[in-house]
Amino acid sequence: MVADQSFSSLAEALQGLEIPVSISDSLALIEVPYVSFEGYEQKGQLVIHQNLAEEVTALFQELYKQWFPIYKMVPLVAYGWDDVASMADNNTSAFNYRHIIATDLLSNHALGRAIDINPLQNPYYARNGKVYPAGAVHDPTVPGTLHKDSSAVTLFKEKGWTWLGDRDTYKDYQHFEKL
Ligand SMILES: [Zn+2]
């Protein structure tokens, strides 16, 4: 588990990563409010495509108003860019320069155009039969869970985001993306 950490600049939040300048130049570090599972007001940080920064800030402000709880929100650099470790820590995040798990396709997270919310409540049931994070269970009655009738899902969809909890061939309940 990683302690809550905050970063003072985008460069700091991208440390240790070798990525094309075209990618790093397109990103922004944003700070958004959220409510913790214990009901406390918190601030979290996301690295996101700069064209989505304003919209994503507004979306998380709305989730906060709706009192949708978020476990934690720390940029992936705090996990040494290890998505599995971040998911196991139930961390909400956006940018990570990585492939889609078990494929050689670059994920939309690598463009800063995808967000994963509360992975432990919203697991990824991959095509290879594995569940990420390991042992996670999707139970729509648990707060912080995304499901087809949740207002959080409606909120993102209204802004043109795709939710991968809707897929037929696999379910990635934690994942929203907008290209
Ligand atoms: Zn994702």
- How many domains is the chain built from? 1
User: How far, in Å, is the centroid of ligand 1 from the Cα of 179?
Assistant: 13
Whether 73 is covered by a domain: the verdict is: yes
Q: Is residue 152 part of a domain?
A: yes
Ligand 1 center from residue 67 Cα (angstroms): 22
Q: Report the pLDDT value the prediction gives residue 17, as an integer from 0 to 100.
A: 92
Give the residue ranges of DSSP H helices in 77-160.
83-88, 151-158
Give distance in angstroms: CA of 147 to centre of ligand 1: 15
CB-neighbour burial class of residue 6 (10 A; exposed 0-12, middle 13-18, buried 19+): middle
Along the chain (179 residues), what's the average pLDDT of each consecutive run of 10 residues?
A: 84 94 96 97 97 98 98 96 95 92 85 98 92 95 96 98 94 97
Give the distance (Å) from ligand 1 centre to CA of residue 23: 18
Task: Please check whether residue 158 lies inside any domain of the structure.
Answer: yes
Omega prior to 119 cis, within 30 of 0:
no
Structure confidence at residue 28 (pLDDT): 98
3-state secondary structure of 49: strand
What local confidence, expressed as pLDDT, does residue 142 receive?
97
Assess if residue 1 is contained within a domain: no
pLDDT at position 3: 67
- 172 within some domain: yes
DSSP secondary structure letter of residue 100: P
- Please tell me the predicted confidence (pLDDT) of residue 1: 63
5 in a domain, yes or no?
no
Assess if residue 2 is contained within a domain: no
Structural domain span for residue 120: 11-177
What pTM, to 2 d.p., does this model score? 0.95
Q: What is the CATH number of the domain that holds 117?
A: 3.30.1380
Query: Does residue 22 fall inside a structural domain?
Result: yes
